[in-house]
Chains A and B, each alone.
Chain A
Amino acid sequence: MSDLVAAAESMKKTERFTRANWVAELASRAGLLIAILAVIAYGSIANPAFFSTGNFVNVLTSMSIVGIVVVGMTFVLVVGGLADLSVPATIACGAILSLGLQPMIGPVPAFVVAIALAGVIGMLNGALVGYAGVNPIIATLGVGTVGLGIVQAAVGGVIVYGTNPASAELVKGRILGIPTVVIIFAVIALIGHFILSRSYWGRWTTATGGNYSAAQASAVPVRAVKAGAFVITGIAAGISGGLLGLTLQSARPLVGTGYEFSAITAVVVGGVSIMGGFGSVPRAIAGLIFVQLLTNVMVLEGVRTPVQGFVLGILIAGAVGMDAALRKRGGG
């Protein structure tokens, strides 16, 4: 296990000094790929149930829900916003509202309203972090606590059930054999990747994260860009929560607990710098695939849940520590 991480990290080591060297660039990109292949190889040998279509579809489906959040979280990390800890609240908001409002306004408007409200939570985060300059972790922790409290108060702290089976069928259904959720995730990931790597907004995001003052001096609307990253995460988490609610057809207020860590782990393990200014959506998704496959192997091998949490924590700490060490040596 730790060998894999070490392997992935040692591969990553090359990237920041010699970005111009395409061989090193290739090696850095291949590092995570090799780690993923190693997990797949180990899983296939260790457990016959691992290498089966059914299992892969399961992994893909569960990955997609987190993956949508990962796309947003990538923006937050790249812009230098550390992390968004209000994700459990926005997911709960998306899940509870998209189910709870169904009887009143129908499934589609309910879904839209849920996402819009999650976006509002994201805007609140963005205003606090981008405009008021509050520490992102404290701001999102506070907003998350308040948001979750309000959502719980709105439904009286109970579980909300779905009333529209048709919408559930749509989300759980498959198009050409691929689950709908996976397709939605793929579309969102593509859009996210396009925005981050090909648009003005993406370049602004990277610039703001890389050097805030320099970006500001270059007339980048740094405050709006920083706030925007949190709005994107809020909307992404809202969509993710809505899909989660529709899939489960029930939503507890604590439905989103732990998703923030899964998302952060994936992004950080994917090699996106926690200090901002460097990273891409495909990298984050590669990290996500690695973490999800690893979790899947652990589950199949009967590793207990606490141990899995332990491994995830070590992964975050290791990836962040490695990033910091590289930055220092690279003189960046």
Chain B
Amino acid sequence: MRYLALALQYRVGIILGLTLLISALVVPGFLGLTTLNLGLDRASTIGIIAIGLTVLLIAGQIDLSVGSVFALSGVVSIILQPQLGILPAAVVGILAGMLAGAVNGLLVVGLKVNSLVLTLATMLIFRSIAHWITDSQPVSGIDIMFSLKVSQTYLEIFSIRSALFLAAIVLLHVWLTRTIPGRNVFAVGSNAVAAKESGIASGRIIFLSFMFAGGMAGVAGVLQSLVTNTGSPVFGSELTVMVIAAVVVGGTRLEGGRGSALGTLGGVLTIGALTVAMEFQSVPAYIQQVVSGCILILLVVLDRTVHIRPGTGREPARAVQPITQGGGSA
């Protein structure tokens, strides 16, 4: 039982280790700098979005529209290049992502709507806007040389994207574990009403988390568009499942209140390693979907069953519930 608990605590590491081991055994030449570079670069798109989603999930919310925001920001950053120049356009693209997140946050906090359903609607809306402004055609940027510069590899391992991702993960880790705002996010996620009673502005934290998630999806979308020199309204439609899978693999709970940046790093690397390994073996895209879907389901089920079964007192979070009711929930 103790080993099981220990294994559960470090399951991200175990899953990542197993993935790497199996990949190394199955795929010839998997262990090498090229693979590391490729895997990191591939993982960083998922990873940058996952950073935003980690915070949002800890705060007890979810955003299904990140894939659409990814596409929208990319499209905006490419389509404005002729007027504004490359870098200002990129900034506007990221701002568009933040604006989209702000819309989500405003609606969720203001209307008190279930974020799953609301972001389902905004997912449709943002995707439509991306189709709208591009006429459903992919658009290309003005300078192809710039995209080469962005996708360049430094020190044989890092591209700009993967370096940015790793730096952001470290910052997120420090922010979540060492600062008061970071701790407040956990408080809001475990029990929004109790947090509010203790003087934490739950609404504002949720709103800002949505804005952050939108902004990170924007950053990922803009980088993707800069690297490919293309903005396409169909980008990112398959990303949502992968990102949620990565975050959940990392041990962040869908119900909020628990999660960590390092866990997300592990989850993202696992998904990245899996993707690269399957691509090396030329596994078709739809099988890759099956695999990431299966992992998502397995882990969510594991998360539910392992925590509810042992003991009679259920989980600690349950014990807090009387406060919710006493705190005057509507």
B-binding residues in A (CB < 8 A): 82-83, 85, 128, 132-135, 137-139, 141-146, 148-150, 152-153, 157, 253, 261, 264, 274-275, 304-310, 312-314, 316-317, 320-321, 324-325, 328, 331
Contact = CB atoms under 8 A, between A and B. Distances in A.
B183 interface: no
Contacts of B112: 324-325, 328
How many B residues are at the interface, by size bracket? 35 or more
Contact of B107 (A85, A152, A274, A317): A317
A310 B133 CA distance: 12
B329 to A, nearest CB: 11
A124 B130 CA distance: 34
A142 B64 CA distance: 13
Contacts, number: 145
Residue of B240, B244, B248, B290 with most chain A CB atoms under a 10 A cut-off: B290
B240 A141 contact: yes
B116 A305 contact: no
B293 A146 contact: yes
9 contacts: A82-B117, A133-B304, A134-B304, A135-B254, A261-B120, A274-B117, A306-B130, A307-B128, A314-B125
Given A261-B124, A307-B132, A312-B124, A132 B301 contact: yes
A139 B113 contact: no
Given A141-B240, A146-B293, A157-B284, A316 B120 contact: yes
A133 B330 CA distance: 24
Given A128-B297, A149-B290, 14 more contacts: A82-B117, A135-B255, A137-B62, A137-B116, A139-B300, A141-B296, A145-B290, A146-B290, A150-B290, A261-B124, A305-B136, A306-B128, A320-B113, A321-B118
Contacts of B330: 328, 331
A142 B238 CA distance: 11
B255 to A, nearest CB: 8
Given A274-B114, A306-B136, A317 B300 contact: no
Interface string B34-67: 0000000000000000000000000000101000
B116 A135 contact: yes
Residue of A142, A308, A325 with most chain B CB atoms under a 10 A cut-off: A142
Contacts of A264: 120
